[in-house]
Amino acid sequence: MELLHSGKVRDVYADGDDLILVASDRISVYDVVLPTPIPDKGRLLTALSLWWFEQLSDLVPNHVLSATDVPAEFAGRAVRCRRLEMVPVECVARGYLTGGGLKEYQATGRVSGVELPRGLVEASILPEPIFTPSTKAPVGEHDEPITFADVVDKVGADTAERLRQITVDVYRRGAELAADRGILVADTKLELGWTPDGTLMLGDELLTSDSSRFWPAESYQPGRPQFSYDKQYVRDWATASGWDKQAPAPEVPAEVVEATRARYVDVYETLTGNRW
């Protein structure tokens, strides 16, 4: 195998015509990789992605070829997958107002160019899910929000509309399945790419605690921050630490590591019904 790319969380290897996608225990916030890993994180992300790919396989095809035909040293944290020509856009869907979307709304009344009603507060549910794409920044740089018109400029009108439709459809289906299990999906980020025969399909990860914000429905209350089953907990710690969000990042305290792992495990078990 040949290492092709080492990203913020995943390493990509070439194995003949296939790719081996390996999820590490690294965690990144504000597009900077932290020096402290989260134990089992790579295995949890891989298992949850595989579960979601299966749940949504009738809605949109995905890149998974095998979860078992991988090198032994990567077992449990790797997927054999198709090679895709990745779309040069981060495809994000939001159903609730939080994070960077909230800050943009407070400044402009819009998120990625989408006009929203006045008077929304933190964690408000949106009238309908919206497509809020962003750039794909290299490691150590920050993704930046862009408008649908920017996506059209990058990939053309037809592809841009397909990206928007797939992203919103995946979000809606995922949010419905999660809500049945007591989890609210505030937002999620997708990666899409083309196969050589022109099929547009899902790649990378899907509806995980790294790519989504998950909130417990039972304690949801707009107007305040929500309990989060995802890496928002680490983002909050990083913000409170006084770190300037530039590399190098500080070490993460043991209690934050333990609490973060527990949240990843809890949401995996709640969504899938499987014990970790």
Tokens of 46: 């891989």
DSSP reduced 3-state for 183: strand
Choose among 117, 137, 139: nearest CA to 126: 117
d(CA 1, CA 78): 13
Domain ranges of the chain: 1-83, 85-219
- For 97-116, what is each residue's pLDDT tens digit? 999 999 999 999 999 999 99
- For 257-271, what is each residue's pLDDT tens digit? 999 999 999 999 999
Residue with tokens 């035909």: 69
Q: Tell me which DSSP letter residue 118 carries.
A: T
Residue with tokens 């934050």: 256
Q: What CATH architecture does domain 1-83 belong to?
A: 2-Layer Sandwich (3.30)
- For 21-41, what is each residue's pLDDT tens digit? 999 999 998 889 999 999 999
Give the per-residue pLDDT at 143: 77
d(CA 194, CA 68): 24
Dihedral in degrees, nearest 10, Cα atoms 93, 165, 167, 268: 100
Give the per-residue pLDDT at 162: 97
Judge contact between 116 and 216, C-beta under 8 A.
no
- For 189-243, what is each residue's pLDDT tens digit? 999 999 999 999 999 999 999 999 999 999 999 999 999 998 888 988 999 999 9
Tokens of 92: 């994000």
Choose among 219, 227, 226, 231: nearest CA to 260: 231
Q: State the pTM of this model.
A: 0.93
* CATH number for the segment(s) 85-219: 3.30.470.20
Mean pLDDT of 177-194: 98
pLDDT over threshold 60, residue 248:
yes
- For 106-157, what is each residue's pLDDT tens digit? 999 999 999 999 999 999 999 999 999 999 866 556 678 999 999 999 999 9
Give the per-residue pLDDT at 59: 97
Calculate ∠ Cα 8-52-186, nearest 5°: 70
Give the per-residue pLDDT at 38: 96
